[in-house]
Amino acid sequence: MSTYITIKDAAKILGVTKLTLRNWDKAGKLIANRHPINNYRIYKSEEIERIIEAMDSSPVEIARRKDLVKKLNVQHIEEGEQNIETTEISE
């Protein structure tokens, strides 16, 4: 079961702006999905972790960012959010 991260949270975790994430989507560097109800961009936590691994950061910084992803996943589960079906963005 995949968990999803909002564009706002993904930007905070990665240390970039939401506009940067949108540009990465267009360039094919990041795979975004769409929330089925509101059509907002959301990202699989695995996809965000892949980007974290690719960043030129120290091992400590990479671990800190991955910890943020895990905390978000636990928070979403505790809040009782349902697993949602999404659609991938296609150009």
pLDDT tens by residue, 2-55: 688 999 999 998 889 999 999 999 999 999 999 888 899 999 989 988 888 888
Q: What is the arithmetic mean of pLDDT over 56-71?
A: 79
The full set of domains in the chain, from first to last, is 4-88 (1.10.1660)
Q: How far apart are CA 45 and CA 56, in angstroms?
A: 19
Taking a C-beta distance cutoff of 8 angstroms, is the pair 8, 43 a contact? no
Q: Which two tokens stand for residue 73?
A: 């996943």
For residue 42, the surrounding DSSP H or E stretch is strand 41-44
pLDDT value for 88: 46
Output the pTM of the full model.
0.69
